Structure 1
């Protein structure tokens, strides 16, 4: 559309419609001029017409209209990065190389976990089963990068087998599972007392010894490496040696400011442990006002739980129960979350806990009572539309929380449920359009910062008191909470 203003003709006057002025040329002269051939005008006009005809013919034969296909529109809505007209064009994707780690750091960890619980050894790694737990993101990412490329068409990253072509390097150590290989209590009497005891700290040290021998680690001092350490204590022994890399974590509860930040790292959701709600949006089957089931006594920030138990356990229409992880506890929790309007999410030993994601897939509006919490995928999810945030001091005042929730209208709760239903796929690890795809998109967005820091460090002459980090770019301790 041409936005240039049109030039207006001067307003008509009486003289405009009067007889033309008398020409100074004689009648004979005017007649002679009118009979002269107009060669100077005809030739350029014919040439211009020919050119226009050729251009029109070329456009008709060779012009291809832009493709505004449904898939492309969906990809833009889903915030794929990058948005590709050809999803198989690896030149427009972030290239990631996954290290072929020694077996002890991947399948060996699963085998040790199984053996520590009296399980039998299997003949091939393909038969090993990763135990279902809230930190299974490391398994899903490992599986995803081992899929065929045609099964990962709309992923933001593509796996390359040549490290020379890689933008980023993924280290697939099962660090969260390694942390819990040895059970707190003997799981079975069939475990041989002579079996070797697994040592997580030694495994972490061995990983770093192996990694620090790799040329691609030395090249950029780990800035372009990606580590998953979803459990708050995963990689704790070597965290200062990997802090330059992109860390995939659940929160910053155990990490120092010079180890992690929102700019450098990616927040992951825990795997939900209860069944996804399959029913319709509505309040008819949700008779309870508020539900919570979990350990009452926790450490550090989780001490808020005991205070919440004290002020809520005698409230009408509130179900709050103490319970440890077990199959029966998950069954009770599923029923409670599927039949409640609000689900309480207090801090655990760290600011986040898996019950938040249990609530989301249950369409039970989360009530988040956790200071300094960080949440996954906040560039595409507005958590104010799916959850209620209450600061700890307000929540533990007797009667405050229940009164606040009773004031929320049915219409508002339905709005929350509709939004929860829209975003719940982001928290489904087994959904091909869900969590894993979004994690890789988040990782791909870190590449410009990785390149910036890698190049910057190479040009700076470090003094003994200087150590490069990006903690100044973003605080990991600021928290803002709102209430209704």
Structure 2
């Protein structure tokens, strides 16, 4: 009996010990839960790390650093390019791709993306950056429609931000989605660092055209270009006027664009389509409003709808003047003519930070830099641009941060204001919370940040690589008499809205 009592006592002790252990484990796991929630919450409210987000400031640092460091020799083209040069590269690429195919189980759908950056002669790169730096303080040049030239260059400076990150020392880079390779046979894609926007706006017309022709010859003489017809080459032509005189010769390359205007005013039929090209955001003209800023100003937004910009535009932007006539003077609406310079920037920033909704009608092209100013200001965009294509839409869902209104509805007298006033406060709060999460995706910076626009460029590009290889190889093996047209273009006439409306 005594033995049984002892064994029962031991059994009870073990049960008590296990209970205490289980209870302690439960407390420990509970203590971790707030940490996990906190982590998720902090990702929703992005705090900008120490980095340079000003194009002018970043460029100054970049040029100071690169001028003091030894430069790599320019990529050269053989005096007489032959089929043998192309074949040698093709064979080298075949061996490299074969190795990757059998050694990497995820190839070619894998990251980091491998990008070869051409070392172009300085007249296409550093000289143009220096030209901008040496003239932007002392020049107030305006385009024919009154836009400040140097500000336009900043808005379309995606070519600089991508290039500066790619060529930075690997130890200083933060992105894991892309790596620069120094052998062409190792590359998934080839990056062409020609500053087409700077040259268009800051060189004399004939000088610019001559430089475009020189760049075209330099690019198309490269063996890698000849091998693929340019299909695996990335060409930054972000301003719709840039590189326009020679575009037809590089139409198979991947273009980095602000939108895909379908009127024919900017891009000719067959030059641009979503399968091939990539839409990138404009560089914002206003300061980034971080989580602390948003928490302070969101409860104080007293203006219902705000717009500040050019009130009269051409082409698809003609809707602006009609909307302005209908909305101007309405209660809770501020419509202002935009002005350039620091005063214009400050007025736009104040207006967006005081408003619930920011009107984003089409400009001369379907897109407008104002959309990205609104996003980084936490002002809910109201997009009235039926032909608009958006950056990174394979990754980001814009329905969660913006309102999309058809031109037909927007032009009905009184319709737009009633629509905005009927939106429930809970929906407005949800849109604002999502804007706080999404704004980081549109903030170019140096060094480039994870989940910033530079990072999303390469994640989107990774999705194109298989198709690029498909079209490149297919073009290399077709024989005379083959049906050699094989495209999957996304055109307005082919788009059908099969989903229900989600409010």
Fold conserved (TM > 0.5)? yes
Deviations 1:220-275 (A, max 9, x none): 11111111111112221121111111111111112234111111111101111011
The 5 A counterparts of 1:203-222 are: 203-222=211-230
Q: 2:433 aligned with 1:408, yes or no?
A: no
Would the alpha carbon gap of residues 305 and 95 (structure 1) be closer, same or farther in structure 2, given more than 3 Å must change?
same
Q: Give the 3-state SS of the residue equivalent to 1:180 in structure 2.
A: helix
- Distance, in Å, in 2 between the alignment partners of 1:403 and 1:131 is 35
* Contact 1:249-1:268 within 8 A present in 2 as well: yes
- Show the 5 A alignment for 1:103-114: 103-113=122-132
Does residue 133 of structure 1 match 2:157? no
Match of 2:118 among 78, 99, 103: 99
Paired with 1:234 and 1:381, the residues of 2 have a C-alpha distance of: 27
The answer to whether the Cα contact below 8 Å between 2:177 and 2:458 also exists between their aligned partners in 1 is yes
Matched, 1:387 2:408: no
Counting only pairs closer than 5 Å after superposition, residues 127-206 of structure 1 correspond to structure 2 as 133-152=154-173, 154-182=175-203, 199-206=207-214
1:45-69 Cα offsets, whole Å, 9 max, x none, are xxxxxxxxxxxxxxxxxxxxxxxxx
Question: In structure 2, what is the equivalent of residue 57 of structure 1?
Answer: none
Answer whether contact 1:302 1:347 (CA < 8 A) is retained: yes
CA gap 1:258/1:213 in 2 versus in 1, 3 angstroms: same
How many angstroms does 1:276 deviate by?
A: 1.5
2:275 is the counterpart of 1:263: yes
- In structure 2, relative to structure 1, the CA distance for the partners of 1:476 and 1:226 (3 Å cut) is farther
TM superposition shift of 1:439: 0.8
Tell me which residue corresponds to 1:280: 294
Tell me, yes or no, if structure 1 residue 223 matches structure 2 residue 205: no
Secondary structure of 1:133's partner? helix
User: Could you say what secondary structure the match of 2:116 adopts?
Assistant: strand
Deviations 1:301-360 (A, max 9, x none): 011111111001121110011113322111000000001000000001100011100111
Structure 1 position 93, deviation (Å): 2.5
Tell me which structure has the larger Cα radius of gyration.
1
* Conserved? CA contact 2:174–2:449, under 8 Å: no
Residues 263 and 280 (structure 1), Cα distance of their counterparts in 2 relative to 1, 3 Å cut: same
Q: Is the 8 A contact 1:157 1:444 kept in 2?
A: no
Higher RCO (C-alpha under 8 Å, 6+ residues apart) = 2
Give the 3 Å change call, closer, same or farther, for CA 306–477 of structure 1 in structure 2.
farther
What RMSD over aligned residues (CA atoms) do the two structures have, in Å?
3.0
| Alpha-carbon spacing, 1:468–1:207, altered in 2? closer, same or farther (3 Å) | farther
Distance in 2 of aligned mates of 1:150 and 1:387: 38
1:432 corresponding residue in structure 2: 449
- 1:8 paired residue number: none
Q: Which secondary structure state, in structure 2, belongs to the residue aligned with residue 414 of structure 1?
A: helix
CA contact (8 A) 2:156 2:283 kept: yes
Q: Helix, strand or coil: the match of 2:227?
A: helix
> What is the aligned length?
378
Q: Deviations over 1:68-89 (max 9, x none)?
A: xx9xx99xx99xxxxxx9xxxx
User: Does structure 1 conserve the Cα–Cα contact (< 8 Å) formed by 2:294 and 2:436?
Assistant: no
Distance 1:260 1:317 in 2: 40
Relative distance call for 1:309 and 1:153 in structure 2 (3 A) is closer
Q: TM-score, normalization: structure 2?
A: 0.70
Assess if the C-alpha contact under 8 Å between 1:97 and 1:159 holds in 2: yes
The separation in 2 between residues aligned to 1:389 and 1:276, in whole angstroms, is 23
Whole-Å Cα distance in 1 between the matches of residues 255 and 215 of structure 2?
16
Query: What 5-or-longer segments of structure 1 have no aligned partner?
Result: 1-69, 79-84, 86-90, 121-128, 183-195
SS of 1:280 mapped into structure 2: helix
CA contact (8 A) 1:252 1:476 kept: no
Aligned equivalents of 2:323, 2:234: Cα separation in 1:
38
Is 1:441 aligned with 2:459? yes
- Asked if residue 475 in structure 1 is aligned to residue 491 in structure 2, the reply is yes
Unaligned segments of structure 2, at least 5 residues: 1-35, 45-103, 105-109, 140-149
Q: 1:363 to 1:92 in 2, by over 3 A?
A: closer
Closer, same or farther: CA 283–112 of 1 in aligned 2, 3 Å: closer
TM-score, structure 1 normalization: 0.72
Aligned to 1:317: 332
Match for 1:246 among 238, 243, 254? 254
Residues 91-117 of structure 1: CA deviation (Å, up to 9, x unaligned): 953211100011111122233445666
- Within 5 Å, which residues of 2 pair with 1:73-92? 92=111
Cα distance in structure 1, aligned partners of 2:151 and 2:348: 23
Aligned-partner SS, 2:130: helix
Q: Cα offset for 1:412?
A: 1.1
How much has 1:479 moved relative to structure 2? 6.4
Q: Which has the higher helix share?
A: 2
> Pairwise mapping of residues 414-425 of structure 1 onto structure 2 (< 5 A)?
414-425=429-440
